[in-house]
Amino acid sequence: MARPEKRRPNARVALIGARGYVGAELIRLLAHHPSFDHVCASSRTHAGKPVRKIVSNADSCSLVFEDLSPADVCNRDDLDVLILALPNGLAAEYVSAVKAGPRPGVIIIDMSADYRFDDGWVYGQTEAYRQQLRNAKRISNPGCYATIMQLIIRPLVSLLAEPPFCFGVSGYSGAGTTPSPKNDPEQLRDNLMPYALTDHIHEREVSRHLGVPVRFMPHVAPFFRGISMTVGISLHEPTDVATIAALYAHAYANEPLIRLTAGEHPPLVRDNAMKHHAAIGGWSVSAADPQQLTVVGTLDNLLKGAATQAIQNINIACGFDELEGIEPWLTTDT
């Protein structure tokens, strides 16, 4: 009789910076993950409050928010994975504390931009770096805009004649919870707000990881969640819609969280809100100049653009199935 396969132990996960929108999505995913033990959630704002009282749909989470300093994290010996969901510029103290602590081999995944340009970290764009993520100890999760831009452009990199132009529109959750005009519903009402139109960090991030320059023009709109990205692309050779559709079908044939929309209909923000996948389609080739192509992509900036992709990456690094903790919660079009 064959011996039953030995089950891999659960991974013990800590979340630092649980106050924001992405932190809340991570809490919900961690609460339902069969192979993660969520051992602590840190939020200075909510310290002492039960997580389930603050985060909706996290009733199974029995944790109380803590205020954990880097030293507190350093002294813990019950961690396998540390998720840093902090604003840009705050991750380094926690990374250094883990390195000096009793478990320096803890997997760290940073949700900020702090390590996206650091060759010592694995860049967590799952579909492109899946092999590098296996057994990785330091993972830098991509930005939400950067994720959809790369998913759109990557299959076409060898065909580019000029830098792609990316027109992005995000829901105001992308501006975080700190009050600003970009997340003020009154400022955004009946409005579309352009910002950071040159040298945006996601422009530099995508250019670095695709190995080609891109131009990016971000905007924020009065809806809460989601991103619409329209990319104008100049190709070396003329093309047609059937060729482009076949190219994307081949590139993403085995990618469970990438969906290609039928025909030439572009994916819509509302169709992807609160879903784990990215959608790409709406490809249009100019009749006047068939070297000019436009492609549209959407994703939920808080899920596939952040929390879902982080869970994918942690699953891979820990040796679990990539969709564990995600697949049962996938929403479908039916």
Given a contact cutoff of 8 angstroms between Cβ atoms, the answer to whether 88 and 113 are in contact is yes
- The one-letter amino acid at 67: D
Please give the DSSP secondary-structure letter assigned to residue 304: I
- Annotation says 74 is catalytic: no
Looking at the DSSP bridge assignments, the partners of residue 58 are: none
The CA–CA distances, whole Å, from 76 to 58, 239, 268, 283 equal 24, 57, 44, 50
CB proximity list for 99: less than 8 A, separation 6 or greater: none
Residue that the structure tokens 């190219």 belong to? 247
> Residue 319 corresponds to which tokens in the numbers above?
């040796």
CA–CA dist 327, 18 (Å, integer): 23
Catalytic residue among 40, 61, 74, 144: 144
CA–CA dist 42, 194 (Å, integer): 33
Nearest to 312 by CA among 299, 300, 331, 327: 327
Instruction: Point out the residues that are catalytic.
Output: 144
